[in-house]
Amino acid sequence: MAQVQNNEKPTSVDGLKKYLDANNIEYSHIEQIEGGTANYVFRVSHGNGLPRIYKHAEPYIASSNGAIPFPVDRMNYEATALQLVHDLLSDVNAVKVPKVWNYDQPSKVLVMTDAGDKTLKEAYNDPDIDIPEIGRLLGEWLVLLHHKTYEIGIGEGGNPIAKSIYRWSYSHLAQAAGQYGLDTDFCDYVDRTYGSLLESDDESVCHGDFWPGNIMLNKEKTLTVVDWEICRRGRPETDVAQFAAEAYLLDRFRGGKGLLDAFLKSYRRKEHDLGKDLTVDRRFITRFAVHMGVHLAFWPASVKWAEHGNTKAVIELGHELMRRGDAEDMGWLRENLLGGLLKRDD
């Protein structure tokens, strides 16, 4: 494909039209998709065929208008991960990843199947959506992702850029705690003790941003896991804990539909089927509890879920979860948030 010139970068509908014209790609309609943060994303219709998603990376976060640098190599890792996981988990019908149709590496343009226009977060209160069933399907799928990639690489260093970005919530945890009068020294301890591990963790391929906002649903209610640009080699607990934290927030503030419990039970049961008993795996539970606690203690301080009082209550819960995880207080964890992982089925 022709390399993008400065005056025809696909950062707008007009820019993408120039890119497509330069590469002799026919199209009938282009729609820029809003709501993303890091990249420029478009839905492109080609004649009578199904629309495809075009994703373009610039060396900065798109929503920052160039103010926040973000290396474009992120798209190389995303393309690699999508192709890898698509093949490894091709026999899983209920949860998919987008199929890569083309990756123009010099121009950083990734072309994928269209996974739909509604995220799980947006669809949470849809009466036609079975939230516990979705939690079950995602828990099983995530176990398979981790188990099937123990020996699989995704590029040099396991994506060091993503490892650095993923520590952001740990390294800024004390700042968020200070806004609510909480113990900042403990936050520094968590960053030194657990945040530092993220750069050397190397057990499996991790999605890196596994949360309901990156699970798409189409009209047939098929689930598709998108946005793999900060995938990395890491530890599975971080993927599980991030989704668990966001599932907890949805359940608490959007209707209590049981996403968290269904997801954790499903993950535990699938791990058990594959020979691993999470109920006695203290290393897994400790890292999981701390990471979920960090997420709850940091992100609600900047992403609004509720008014100040409820926000502070969630942040305080995050701190308690970090402390109990660090102390390996399995009794407290079993009865508070982690029951789905620690309570065996009768």
Q: What is the DSSP letter of 91?
A: T
Q: What is the pLDDT of residue 199?
A: 92
Mean model confidence pLDDT for the chain:
94
Q: What is the pLDDT of residue 94?
A: 92
Q: What does the pLDDT look like over 156-165, one tens digit per residue?
A: 888 988 998 9
Of 48 and 111, which is predicted with more confidence?
111
Q: What is the pLDDT of residue 200?
A: 93
Is it the case that residue 112 has pLDDT exceeding 90? yes
Q: What does the pLDDT look like over 304-325, one tens digit per residue?
A: 888 878 999 999 999 999 999 9
Q: What does the pLDDT look like over 7-25, one tens digit per residue?
A: 578 999 999 999 999 999 9
Q: What is the pLDDT of residue 181?
A: 95
Of 209 and 65, which is predicted with more confidence?
209
Q: What does the pLDDT look like over 232-252, one tens digit per residue?
A: 999 999 999 999 999 999 999
Q: What is the pLDDT of residue 87?
A: 95
pLDDT band (50, 70, 90) for residue 6: very low
Q: Which residues contact 137 (CB under 8 A, 6 or more apart)?
A: 94, 95, 223, 266
b/e sequence 306-331, b meaning 16+ C-beta within 10 Å: eeeeebbebbbbbbbbbbbbbeeebe
Q: What is the pLDDT of residue 41?
A: 96
Is it the case that residue 2 has pLDDT exceeding 70? no
Strand partners, 31: 43
Q: What does the pLDDT look like over 292-307, one tens digit per residue?
A: 999 999 999 988 888 8
Is it the case that residue 66 has pLDDT exceeding 90? no
The Cα–Cα gap between 178 and 121 comes to 29
Identify the CA nearest to 6 among candidates 26, 28, 25, 22.
22
Q: Please work out, in degrees rounded to the nearest 5, the angle formed at the alpha carbon of residue 93 by the alpha carbons of 88 and 97.
A: 55
Q: Which two tokens stand for residue 278?
A: 């999470």
pLDDT band (50, 70, 90) for residue 190: very high
Q: What is the pLDDT of residue 48?
A: 73
Q: What is the pLDDT of residue 345?
A: 72
Q: Which residues contact 35 (CB under 8 A, 6 or more apart)?
A: none
Is it the case that residue 36 has pLDDT exceeding 80? no
pLDDT band (50, 70, 90) for residue 281: very high
b/e sequence 41-70, b meaning 16+ C-beta within 10 Å: bbebeeeeeebbbbbbbbebbbeeeeeeeb
Q: What is the DSSP letter of 51?
A: P
Chain length of the chain? 346
Tell me the one-letter amino acid at 114.
D
Q: What does the pLDDT look like over 248-269, one tens digit per residue?
A: 999 999 999 999 999 999 999 9
pLDDT band (50, 70, 90) for residue 1: low
Of 133 and 218, which is predicted with more confidence?
133
| Whole-structure pTM value | 0.95
Q: Which two tokens stand for residue 157?
A: 């260093």
pLDDT band (50, 70, 90) for residue 220: confident
The Cα–Cα gap between 156 and 117 comes to 33
Percent of the chain whose predicted confidence (pLDDT) is above 90: 85
Q: What is the pLDDT of residue 37?
A: 84
Q: What is the pLDDT of residue 307?
A: 82
- Asked whether 177 and 297 are in contact (CB, 8 A), the reply is yes
Identify the CA nearest to 317 among candidates 292, 343, 341, 280.
292
Q: Please work out, in degrees rounded to the nearest 5, the angle formed at the alpha carbon of residue 115 by the alpha carbons of 57 and 97.
A: 80
Measure CA 233 to chain center: 14
